[in-house]
Amino acid sequence: MRIAFDTGGTFTDCVYLRNGRIQILKIPSTPGNPAEAISIALAQILRNNGEVRPLDLACGTTVGTNALLQRQGGRVALVTTAGFEDVLEIGRQARTKLYNLFVKKQPPLVPRERRFGLRERLDSEGRALLSPSPKEIARTVRAVVRSGAESVAVCFLFSFINPENERRIASALSKAGLQVSASHEILPEHREFERTSTTVVNAYLVPVMSKYLAEIERCAAAHSRQNLKSSFHSSIRKTGARVRIMQSSGGILSARAAAREPVRTILSGPAGGILGAQYVAELAGVERIITFDMGGTSTDVALLERGRSGALATTSETIVSDIPVAVPMLDIHTVGAGGGSIARYDRAGALRVGPESAGADPGPICYGRGEKPAVTDANLILGRIPEAGLLGGAFRLDIARAREFMDREKGSAASVEKFAQGIVDVANAVMEKAIRVISVERGHDPRDYTLVAFGGAGALHACDLASALDIPRVLVPRIPGALSALGILRADVAKDLSRTVRLEIRGATDARAALDREFSKLQRDGFKQMLREGFAGNSVRIERALDMRYSGQSYELMVPYARDYVRAFHSAHEQRYGYADRARPCEVVNVRARFTGRTPKPAIPKLERSGPSARRSLISQSQAWFAGRRQATSTYAREKLLAGNRIAGPALVMEYSATTLIPPGWTGRVDVYGNILLERRP
């Protein structure tokens, strides 16, 4: 039985197949132990479906992200080339706030007393200038053990060319019982600071993610009625369960591999949302989309050019909690604005929303425990969330309590409703800015795109954002509150490999033989890793790409490796920066290969066709606030909508996983796959 989980800050979403149909389940997250929510959900799913084995689980997780944000990773040490122990402190010397003379950087993940230099040295061609002696290696291992570290990052100068010295010290550290992350395995690319930073992040997350993944596998094994004493590295044959984890790059990999390289899972959940949005956009026949995933804690946005048929845009320049992470990730921009984002007045009296969140515990005021106003409370006060509650009425909301506490916090606002409208407006402004970052600031016109809104709160705010950005259409997919979990369930197994080559290119055919040789090396390694994931060579799809720049530049753009890759680079440079110098020599810095093994894909079924009238799905009439005044608002049950139905705003469309708001002046049309396409009336 295949089940996908997306663990969020407020809810844990589950998607699975029952009698060939997609089913969803949402339960409150358990921030203290995220695996507990998965165990509770599994018990409920299996109780409703009888004994099913074996289990095949795919999980999106925020465990790695939260460990970085809250600085709750493992006790990590760094072993590097002697004299370079302070590279984490020095960094790029970039000021996050240029004119703030008192800005303070967060301390590095590895304190100075746990950074150790090994006397070794390679030159820029990878030739050994100084090889570490066995005595020197033994001395360093003893020092690391005495430091009390449980995990070690190893990163030497130019080890991406010649990893021999890293292999020797990594082997000695492993024999001493330490978990080791070596840079030539995690990120064999140039730029020492980013390579060191990424390797340290991996080592920092290994203890946390290993424990979390072990708990998930034990839980899956228990529910599979198999050997409860099986270890974390047991095979599916022994446990009756297989656990895979969503990567930030849009593919899944085995729990064993994720435990070794947890740095690849930092944007795990949001990546599933991108895959889900790509799928529903293809069903709706939409090619250019901006994804808008608003959950309980944050909002994630991304831009996709060609729907499901096109390659997903990735980046290797992500910064998480002020720390560079250079492994490939989907190009997602995240801001701290979600349904649980807390509203407050700052010292100057200005209303602020987020990034602090009420999360699942205590949650917004209307959940019954929180006491600080959140975006969900504001939407409830404005009549944009039905008082019947969430999850089909199973999760009740206390509007009287929300009104009481918000009245205490409203400050200078004339009424609770105006305070609530202010909260929604500020949250919208934060999310609008995020969409501008991934569109306007990168040379894309939002008017050429469709906004795909999902997450528990996305469809409540989508039309307001579309109006502010002149986006002509909004697409609200079926099961919007669990679309990320659906994307995870549809994800393929994938491995991303890369290598620095530094080749100068003067013509379209120049250096092609050298590039083919480098890709052959990646291909041999990639096939071995995919075989361990259960995919033989003929079943593996390979996508090749290049990191390119003009000679003399400092940073690169990634383009597909094809016959016209030089022309593709010039076009990409012109798109991003507004110009291209086609007479200037180019340089290939890194070669990249993505190896993919396809998995079964659950499909959203078609709906029965009907006429434009949606009267059969009408539930009730209520009052909601728009532009400072109350208006009569119709509420519809989404599960009763049929293809061809139309709904004129103002209206609410209720379903188990989310609520869709159709404001005045907007009309919704249901397509054959159950998507609601919202457009402004002329």
Residue ranges covered by each domain of the chain: 2-68+207-265, 73-201, 493-597
Residue 446 pLDDT greater than 60, yes or no? yes
Q: Residue 53: which pLDDT band, with cuts at 50, 70 and 90?
A: low
Query: How many whole angstroms separate alpha carbon 124 and alpha carbon 221?
Result: 49
Q: Which CATH number fits domain 493-597: 1.10.1060, 3.30.1490, 2.60.40, 2.60.120?
A: 3.30.1490
Q: Mean pLDDT, to the nearest integer, of 512-523?
A: 91
**Paired strand residues for 330:** 314
Cis peptide leading into residue 262 (ω within 30°): no
pLDDT of residue 648: 95
Six-digit token pair at 428?
A: 């919208």
Return the closest-CA partner of residue 197 out of 104, 122, 113, 87: 87
| Whether the Cβ atoms of residue 515 and residue 546 lie closer than 8 Å to each other | yes
Residue ranges in 20-133 assigned as alpha helix (H): 34-49, 63-69, 87-90
What spatial distance separates the first Cα and last Cα of the chain, rounded to whole Å?
Answer: 48
CATH number of 2-68+207-265: 3.30.420.40
Both tokens of 585, joined, read 């020599």
CA torsion 135→140→145→146, rounded to 10°?
A: 100
| Residue 618 confidence class, pLDDT cut points 50, 70, 90 | very high
Indicate whether 10 pLDDT > 80: no
Look up tokens 């079943």; give the residue: 539
- Residue 237, CA distances (Å) to 233, 257, 389, 666 in order: 11, 17, 43, 54
CB-facing half-sphere around the CA of 30: CA atoms within 13 A: 10
Residue 359 has pLDDT above 80, yes or no: no
429-438 pLDDT, tens per residue? 999 999 999 9
Residue owning tokens 């509650």: 389
Least confident of 47-56, 486-495, 562-571: 47-56
Give me 590's structure tokens: 């890194």
Per-residue pLDDT at 309: 39
Which strand (E) or helix (H) includes residue 184?
Answer: helix 183-186
The model scores a pTM over 0.95? no
Q: What percent of the chain clears pLDDT 90, i.e. is strictly above it? A: 65
Instruction: Identify the bridge partners of residue 300 per DSSP, sorted by sequence position.
Output: 293, 334
Give per-residue burial for 48-82: e unless 16+ CB within 10 Å, then b. Answer: eeeeeebbbbbbbbbbbbbbbeeeebbebbbbbbb
Among 275, 297, 336, 237, smallest CA distance to 60 is for 275
Higher pLDDT, 199 or 67: 199
Helix (DSSP H) and strand (DSSP E) numbers for the chain: 17, 34
Q: Give the separation between CA 659 and CA 394, rounded to whole angstroms.
A: 14
Mean pLDDT of 23-45: 88
What mean pLDDT comes out for the span 588-596? Answer: 94
Structural fold of domain 73-201: Rossmann fold (3.40.50)
Distance in angstroms (rounded) separating the CA atoms of residues 622 and 659 = 15
Alpha-carbon torsion angle 591, 576, 88, 68, nearest 10: -100
Q: How confident is the model at residue 1 (pLDDT cuts 50, 70, 90)?
A: confident
Q: Are 397 and 380 in contact (CB under 8 A)?
A: yes
Note the pLDDT tens digit of each residue in 285-344: 998 999 999 988 889 999 997 633 356 778 888 888 788 999 989 989 888 888 889 999
Contact between 462 and 453 (Cβ < 8 Å): yes
Residue 507: per-residue pLDDT: 65
Please count the other Cβ atoms lying within 10 Å of the Cβ belonging to residue 132.
22
Contact 38, 243 (CB under 8 A): no
- Ramachandran angles phi, psi of 83, nearest 5°: 100, -10
How far apart (Å, rounded) are the C-alpha atoms in residues 395 and 286? 34
Backbone angles phi, psi at 175, to 5 degrees: -65, -25
Q: Average pLDDT for residues 523-544, to the nearest whole number?
A: 91
Q: What is the mean pLDDT of the chain?
A: 89
| Residue with the larger pLDDT of the pair 10 and 485 | 485
Determine contact, residues 149/77, Cβ cutoff 8 Å: yes
Find tokens 């055919």 and name the residue: 509
- Bridge-based pairing of strands 151-155 and 179-182 is parallel
> Strand 618-626 and strand 651-654: pairing?
unpaired
| Vertex 137: Cα angle to 132 and 140 (nearest 5) | 125
Task: Give the total residue count for the chain.
Answer: 682
Q: What per-residue confidence (pLDDT) applies to 114?
A: 96
Averaged pLDDT, 67-77: 88
Residue 18 reports pLDDT greater than 90: no
Q: Is the pLDDT of residue 454 over 90?
A: yes
Determine contact, residues 221/175, Cβ cutoff 8 Å.
no
What would the mean pLDDT of 107-118 be, rounded to a whole number?
Answer: 95
Above 90 in pLDDT, residue 68? Answer: no
> Lowest-confidence range among 103-107, 281-285, 443-447, 637-641?
103-107
DSSP structure string for 424-490: HHHHHHHHHHHHHHHTGGGT--GGGSEEEEESTTHHHHHHHHHHHHT--EEEE-SSGGGHHHHHHHH
Backbone angles phi, psi at 91, to 5 degrees: 55, -140
pLDDT at 513: 86
| Continuous segment of H or E residues that includes residue 525 | helix 512-532
pLDDT confidence band for 235 (50 / 70 / 90): very low
Q: Give the integer Cα–Cα distance in Å for 207 and 338.
A: 29
Q: What is the mean pLDDT of residues 20-43?
A: 87
Q: Among 505-514, 546-555, 575-584, 627-636, whose mean pLDDT is lowest?
A: 505-514
pLDDT at residue 56, as a whole number: 87
pLDDT at 228: 37
Q: Cα-flanking dihedrals φ and ψ of residue 478, to 5°?
A: -65, 155
Q: Which of 19-23, 146-150, 262-266 has the lowest mean pLDDT?
A: 19-23
> Higher confidence at residue 220 or residue 545?
545
The CA distance from 443 to 58, in Å, is 35
Token pair belonging to 635: 């509420």
CB 533 within 8 A of CB 477: no
509 band by pLDDT with thresholds 50, 70 and 90: low
Greatest mean pLDDT range, 97-101, 386-390, 656-660? 656-660
Q: What average pLDDT does this structure show over 156-164? A: 95
Mean pLDDT of 659-676: 96
Biggest CA pair distance of the chain: 82
